[in-house]
Structure 1
Amino acid sequence: MSDLKIAVILGSTRPGRNGKAVADWVMTQAERRSGASYELVDLLDYPLPHLDEAMPPSAGQYAGAHTKAWAEKIAAYDGFVFVTPEYNHSTSGVLKNAIDYLYAEWNNKAAGFVSYGSLGGARAIEHLRAISAELQLADVRQQLSFSLFTDFENFSVFRPGPQYADQATVLFDQVESWAGALKQLRAAEPVAA
C-alpha cells in the first residue's frame, strides 16, 4: 500500500442528502485501490460556522478551535475527491465555506470531483475548478457526474450504472498520480524559518 492519503470530502450536510450514498459508493470503489488509502471526511463531522476568522486564511493565523481542527485534518492528506451536489448552478455553501477556511493546507495537492444534480452537477464542478486554481490545488481532468434523473430512483435512491466503475478508476488513477508527484514537490520545498 502506498503512503498516499486521499480524503473523499462529502460536501453536503442537508437533511435527506443524496451525497452520503454517492460518497459511500466512491469509498466502495476506492477500497479496491492499492495506490493510496482513502478516508471519508463528512462535513457533518466538522460543523464550521460561516467563515469567522479575522485574518485571511493565506496568513495561516487560525484563531478558532474549529478552524485549527479542520486545518489539522486537511493538512494530513495528499489529495482530495470532492463529492458535491449542485445547488443553484454551483457547489453547496457548506463545501465552499469549508474550503474557504484554509489555504496552505490545500496547496500543491491533487483534487478530483464527483457531482450529482439535475444536469449531473457539472456546473458545481466548474466552480470548484476555478476555486482550486486559487488554492493551488491541481484538479484532474476526469470527473464523475451523476444525474438525478437517470442515476437515482425517485430522485433519492442512488443506482449508478456499471460504466461509472471504469470512470472512477480513471479518476483515482489521475488523482493518485498527481498526488504522488505533488507530495514530492512539497517534500522538496524549503521549510520556512
Structure 2
Amino acid sequence: MPKLMIIVGSVHEGRIALPIAQWVRRAAEADGRFDVDFADLAEIDLPLMDEPNHPRLRQYTKAHTKAWSKRVDDADAFVLCFPEYNYSYGPAIKNALDYLNAEWNRKPVGFVNWGGNSAGTRAQVALRPVVGALGLVITKGNVEINFPQQQLVDGRFEPNEQQAAVLQAQLDEMLALDQALRPLR
C-alpha cells in the first residue's frame, strides 16, 4: 500500500489549515488504499533552512533534517495543504520543501489550498514551479476552497460535494501516478 503524506503547510496559531488537513486525512483513511502519514509542520518545527550543504548532496548534519529526510523518503505521494498569503504560498511549506531534494523526486503531489475570492489559486500557481523543480508530478485535479471559515462546524471542516469529489479524484490519480512513477524512482 503506498504511503501518502499529508502535509499541513501552515504553522500560525489559530490556523484553519489543521481542520482542512484533518478532513483530507479522514478522506484518505476512509479511501483505504493508502497508508497515511500526517505531517503537521507546526509539530515538526523545522527551523529556517539551517544545513551547511546543498540538499541535493544529502549530506545532512542536523537531526531534524535527517528525520525529515527519512520521513519524506519513505512517502510515495503527497498532499500539500496550504493557504494563500499575499498572492503566494507561505514560508513554512517552502522551507519544508527546500530542506530536501532527491527525496521528493518522481513522486505525485496534489494540492489542497484556500483563500478568499481566489480560493488559493495564486498560491498554487506560485508553488507549481517549486515542486516541478524538485521532480514532483502534480495531479491534474486540485482542491481550491473559497472562504473556508464558512465551512467550519464546531472546529471541523465540512467539505461541500464538489470539494469532496475533487479530493477523491485526486486520490485516484495519485494512486495511478504512484504506480506509473514507482519504477522510475
Q: Could you state the TM-score of these two structures normalised by the residue count of structure 2?
A: 0.92
- Counterpart CA distance in 2 for 1:162 and 1:28 is 15
- Counterpart CA distance in 1 for 2:115 and 2:178 is 27
Q: Which amino acid aligns with 1:148?
A: F
Q: Go from structure 1 to structure 2 and tell me whether the alpha carbon gap of 1:34 and 1:159 turns closer, same or farther (over 3 Å shift).
A: closer
Stretches of 4+ moved more than 3 A in 1? 149-154, 156-159
Count of residues paired in the alignment: 183
Q: Which residues in structure 2 correspond to 1:13-28 (within 5 Å)?
A: 13-28=11-26
- Counterpart CA distance in 2 for 1:123 and 1:26 is 21
Partner of 2:151: 152
- Counterpart CA distance in 2 for 1:83 and 1:16 is 15
Q: Which runs of 5+ in 1 are unaligned?
A: 187-193
Q: Which runs of 5+ in 2 are unaligned?
A: none
Q: CA RMSD in A?
A: 1.8
Deviation at 1:22, TM superposition (A): 0.3
Partner of 1:190: none
Q: Please say if residues 114 and 147 of structure 2, whose CA atoms lie closer than 8 Å, have aligned partners that are also in contact.
A: yes
SS at match of 2:164: helix
Deviation at 1:109, TM superposition (A): 0.6
Q: Which amino acid aligns with 1:136?
A: G
Q: Go from structure 1 to structure 2 and tell me whether the alpha carbon gap of 1:179 and 1:151 turns closer, same or farther (over 3 Å shift).
A: farther
Q: Could you state the TM-score of these two structures normalised by the residue count of structure 1?
A: 0.89
Q: Percentage identity across aligned positions?
A: 36
Q: Go from structure 1 to structure 2 and tell me whether the alpha carbon gap of 1:36 and 1:158 turns closer, same or farther (over 3 Å shift).
A: closer
Partner of 1:54: 52
Partner of 2:7: 9
Partner of 1:135: 134
